[in-house]
A and B are shown apart, each in its own frame.
Chain A
């Protein structure tokens, strides 16, 4: 009876697993970053938090010690309300 399965040698199997693991490692890390940005992104064009604003300006908000996007630390950007006592012309 003919075997229906392609027989891999151990070397080929290990090489295949190695390539697959590395590709998945890269793909997963990229996907995680993409998901993080989707989580922090809001409808405010200028960004509503420190991390989101930094991302909009072109950098990932991470230091050597801390990744602010994947953490729960939220630094919300304060939006100034109009002060009726101020008579400044805009």
Chain B
């Protein structure tokens, strides 16, 4: 009898395994069908993107870090299929009604497979309407009552099968573990508010690509960003602020070092590590004073600041070359649903809290992760950057703007739509900061890293005055053209908070400012001196080496004799267009970059140095901009107040631009390939001759 029992047991196990592997095969086939379905909907599939990556050399594609990330991702995919197959297999072990024949059992199994698939797509369609595989969107199947009922039925079926296969105590243990695992991140244990510290919290909130002319203080409709406008109404806003370069990583490094790119050495996004000094003296100094430092950003494709730059914490997706590929492959229903849970950051690090994978990005979840990184027993330095305003403007929900706001400009329309989303994210952030007590004693800055040009008709083309030829003054995007003021003008505002209320003046201040002014101002605000800090920090902290100034609090403190420097980034034709074709961008730029063993993409060192020579460089003084352009043989002078543009050879006005020229030439004289038309040399010679 025991032999019969053993034989029955082994037959049952064999049957179970057969069902499991059959289920696994069907689910994998389903995934393949989904990939093909997505390809049929899109003009460009991920595989064509992969083929474009052929322009990368084989060493890059074989980089250990990149291979590891891709293999890890596929292992996670396979693991999900295995677990899901196990769940379906268990669910069919205790049928709801008697099954008399083998045929009925097979049909019952097939029904459960298809029910699972249908439920999965229905849930995906409800939560992620912009997902390409949400084909049940706006059908009754995607209604919460329908998929909720279906999901409940499947869960109960699973438990019936589990009880059938195991003992009640084992089933109970598994249930408790599942419930604890699923629910624990959402159970907030009430924490005490942040304790009072001797130093204030410092919060620098960056909003990628935010144009100040879309804000109320520069005359825009206040309804575009009501929450942000309300906060800015109570802050000191510096009206004429410029980014040192219209690229996120470069702008942030200039901010964190207080130095222009030409002086801190970081000239492009994805700068190779040997060209970057990752030691940030100001961050080291803050840590020495007991600060908990955090850098948070919701997209890491072009900004690789992380803990290796000295921050205690980083929040956001993983940085690496695999990001583009995995984001393209990642639009699968089970992955999207998993991304609803914070623990998915461990298994899907490229997709969780990644704005670049907009279909599943939750601005609120990102804010929660940021708040969780803050310390309650120490002052915090939080550098935080929101990227929703960056192209391609994808999100979980599509537009809500009415048709009458459509003007045919896709990028600008989507940009305005995303301003709404960022605005809500800012409101949520401030509510959470206040709740945690982080605004009881805080210095807050709100900035943008660069503007964004949409070739809007409202931004008038400069009027040429006796120009030999007209330089290009309007371009798409950011960092591509320093004559296009829409790209370089940014938001720069600050306030001090005590007990959750702003205690500094609400005002708009004229003058010229730059992101490099923030760190020198913080050093001054914290009254940091050489006493009380280590000799290493004191030697690093040499205020004379800052390019920035201390931001004024009153109009009387404003200096109108100040220069601000701006430079352009990599001249990429394929991004200087209204429609950015990813394949075209990859083809044009891939040869400039390589993937190294850490799995990250970096600009090649040789290209880095060569591309510096192609930069446009400009200096601002009061309402004048003087630019040296590689493709224009004389300096270009632009009056930002009257919008008149000149070349200096033919300028006959009263303004004395020569000191600007001297300052610009002095700033960049060591730059490789600077001044190919010898404008500085000729200027110095003619100036010396006159003297």
**Interface residue ranges, A against B (CB under 8 Å):** 9, 11-12, 15-16, 18-19, 22-23, 25-26, 29-30, 32-34, 37, 41, 45-47, 50, 53-68, 70, 73, 75-78, 80, 86-90
Beta-carbon contact of B137 and A60 below 8 Å: yes
Set of chain B residues within 8 Å of A75, measured between Cβ atoms: 403, 406, 413
Set of chain A residues within 8 Å of B131, measured between Cβ atoms: 59-60
Q: Known contacts A12-B107, A15-B111, A19-B110; is A46 also within 8 Å of B118 by CB? A: no
Set of chain B residues within 8 Å of A88, measured between Cβ atoms: 461, 470, 472-474
- Pick from B107, B117, B138, B403: contact of A15, CB below 8 A: B107
Q: Looking at the complex, which of B97-105, B285-293, B507-515, B524-532 is the stretch in contact with chain A?
A: B97-105
Beta-carbon contact of A87 and B138 below 8 Å: no
CA of A28 to CA of B292 in the docked complex: distance in angstroms? 54
Beta-carbon contact of A53 and B410 below 8 Å: yes
**Who on chain A is nearest to B392 by CB?**
A57
Set of chain A residues within 8 Å of B41, measured between Cβ atoms: 33-34, 37, 55, 60
Contact-size category for B: 35 or more
Beta-carbon contact of B410 and A22 below 8 Å: no
Q: Looking at the complex, which of B190-198, B209-217, B393-401 is the stretch in contact with chain A?
A: B393-401
- Pick from A18, A30, A57: contact of B135, CB below 8 A: A30
**Who on chain B is nearest to A87 by CB?**
B470
A sample of 25 cross-chain residue pairs with beta-carbon separation below 8 angstroms, ordered by A number, consists of: A11-B99, A11-B104, A12-B107, A15-B108, A19-B107, A19-B114, A22-B114, A29-B121, A29-B136, A33-B37, A45-B579, A45-B581, A50-B399, A54-B398, A59-B131, A59-B132, A61-B130, A61-B399, A62-B130, A65-B400, A66-B398, A75-B413, A77-B409, A78-B409, A89-B470
CA of A32 to CA of B400 in the docked complex: distance in angstroms? 23
CA of A65 to CA of B404 in the docked complex: distance in angstroms? 18
**Who on chain A is nearest to B359 by CB?**
A59
Interface centre among B107, B397, B455 (most CB of A within 10 A): B107
Set of chain A residues within 8 Å of B100, measured between Cβ atoms: 9, 11
What is the predominant secondary structure among interface residues of chain B facing chain A?
Answer: loop
Set of chain B residues within 8 Å of A37, measured between Cβ atoms: 40-41
Beta-carbon contact of B578 and A46 below 8 Å: yes
Expressed in whole angstroms, the minimum distance between the Cβ of A10 and any Cβ of chain B is: 11
Beta-carbon contact of A58 and B394 below 8 Å: yes
Interface centre among A15, A23, A78 (most CB of B within 10 A): A15
Beta-carbon contact of B398 and A46 below 8 Å: no
Beta-carbon contact of B118 and A25 below 8 Å: yes
CA of A2 to CA of B484 in the docked complex: distance in angstroms? 87
**Who on chain B is nearest to A67 by CB?**
B138
Q: Known contacts A29-B139, A34-B41, A56-B42; is A64 also within 8 Å of B392 by CB? A: no
Expressed in whole angstroms, the minimum distance between the Cβ of A46 and any Cβ of chain B is: 3
Check B536 for interface membership: any CB of A closer than 8 A: no
**Who on chain A is nearest to B114 by CB?**
A22
Beta-carbon contact of B121 and A26 below 8 Å: yes
Set of chain A residues within 8 Å of B398, measured between Cβ atoms: 54, 59-63, 66, 68
CA of A86 to CA of B474 in the docked complex: distance in angstroms? 11
Beta-carbon contact of B138 and A19 below 8 Å: no
- Pick from A16, A26, A76: contact of B117, CB below 8 A: A26
CA of A54 to CA of B130 in the docked complex: distance in angstroms? 10
Beta-carbon contact of A11 and B43 below 8 Å: no
CA of A22 to CA of B139 in the docked complex: distance in angstroms? 14
Beta-carbon contact of A62 and B134 below 8 Å: yes
Set of chain B residues within 8 Å of A86, measured between Cβ atoms: 461
**Who on chain B is nearest to A13 by CB?**
B107
Beta-carbon contact of B138 and A62 below 8 Å: yes
Expressed in whole angstroms, the minimum distance between the Cβ of A63 and any Cβ of chain B is: 4
**Who on chain B is nearest to A29 by CB?**
B135
Set of chain A residues within 8 Å of B108, measured between Cβ atoms: 15
Set of chain A residues within 8 Å of B111, measured between Cβ atoms: 15, 18-19, 22
CA of A37 to CA of B43 in the docked complex: distance in angstroms? 10
Beta-carbon contact of B410 and A50 below 8 Å: yes
CA of A77 to CA of B108 in the docked complex: distance in angstroms? 50
Set of chain B residues within 8 Å of A18, measured between Cβ atoms: 111
CA of A18 to CA of B135 in the docked complex: distance in angstroms? 20
Set of chain A residues within 8 Å of B134, measured between Cβ atoms: 60, 62
Beta-carbon contact of A26 and B114 below 8 Å: yes
- Pick from A23, A55, A59, A65: contact of B114, CB below 8 A: A23
Q: A50-B399, A76-B408 are in contact. List 5 more A-B contacts (CB 8 A).
A: A9-B101, A11-B99, A15-B107, A64-B129, A90-B472
